[in-house]
Amino acid sequence: MKNLKFCVLCVFVTNIALATFITVAPATADDLTEPFWLISTRRAARCGQVDGTEQKIDFYRLQADKQWLTTDCDTFLQTCDPAVPTTIFIHGNRAGRNTAIRQGWRIYRQLKQEADGRPFRFVVWSWPSNRIRGRNRRDVRVKACYSDLQSYYLAEYLDRVGPDVRVNLIGYSFGARIITGALHMLAGGKVAGRGLIDQDSSNLSDLSEENDAEGPRFRAILVASAIDAGWLIPGRRNGLAVSQVDRILVTCNGCDPVLRWYPLMYGCRGPQAAGYVGAYCLGQSCEQIESLDVSCSVGRIHDFTCYMESAPLRRRLARYAFFEDAR
């Protein structure tokens, strides 16, 4: 009898939690005018095999009444419009789903202010980044592993978006790690042994020629990025990522107290974070990478709000989101 009561209680709590999540929306959602989506991978596999995972990736669209409408991937893809650019925001570590929504809403409102009436679609990519008990090093190492699989999920969906739809990717901290991994996979590369089945790095030249013919498809903004400074160099871990973008913006803050300790994730010594010292580049890739020093405007803090309120970054947000000055 006790076990039965416990099971009933578990089901009740689970249903309440799910209902709460579905109805939680930004408190200021009254000015919702452009499509606002949420893609959640929090129920999906976090490591290992990914077979059947697609059924556990959840899609929601925010309605005018501040309720989330449960939908699916096909519906999301059908709403893609070549005339309407899409911005996908991927949060960093230790952000719950409500925090992810609030952070995304902040960027959404900033885009609205800079849009000048231009339409856009906004997407929050919510991944399992809640803090894991134990020391900080264990937490960041586990999340680094999670982000590798998230790169695969993101690459799968970006690969299904029509080639004439322009997408701007904004990643904060570990979110930047997810983005560069996904772009690398789209170019035929592999991350942690995973790659897209229909992509082959041997056909990279053909993919580049196709991108040049169709025009730029992706742009990216990497904010306080938790990736190795040298990963975007050709031949390195995410060296193919730059080939998939028209432009990529990387913020740099040599005062960030969290990114300062990034090398310790590897042990006593390790490479510096791109968000701390900037992204290294070689050859033609340097023309596509824009480095933005925000040390003076952000200072000694690793905080999403402070970074997004940085005036130099705000001035570039619309340029990337609406593909202004595209090649």
State pLDDT tens for residues 192-230.
999 997 655 444 444 444 444 455 589 999 999 999 999
Say how far apart CA 172 and CA 27 lie, in whole Å.
22
Is 29 within 8 Å of 62 (Cβ atoms)? yes
What is the percentage of the chain residues whose pLDDT exceeds 70? 82
Model pLDDT for residues 234-288, shown as the tens digit of each residue: 999 999 999 999 999 999 999 999 999 999 998 878 999 999 999 999 887 889 9
pLDDT for 134 equals 78
- Using one digit for the tens of pLDDT, what is the confidence trace for 126-176? 999 998 887 888 999 999 999 999 999 999 999 999 999 999 999 999 999
Token code pair at residue 10: 């578990």
Looking at the domain that runs over 2-321, which CATH code has it been given? Answer: 3.40.50.1820
Q: Domain extents for the chain?
A: 2-321
d(CA 59, CA 69): 8
Residue 190's Cα: distance from chain center in Å? Answer: 18
Which pLDDT score is estimated for 132?
87
Q: Which residues face 1 on adjacent strands?
A: none
Percent of the chain residues past pLDDT 90, beyond the cut: 73
Contacts with 152 (C-beta within 8 Å, 6 or more apart), sequence order: 50, 181, 182, 185, 191, 194, 196
Which tens digits make up the pLDDT trace of 6-64?
333 333 333 334 434 443 667 566 689 999 999 999 999 888 777 655 668 999 999 99
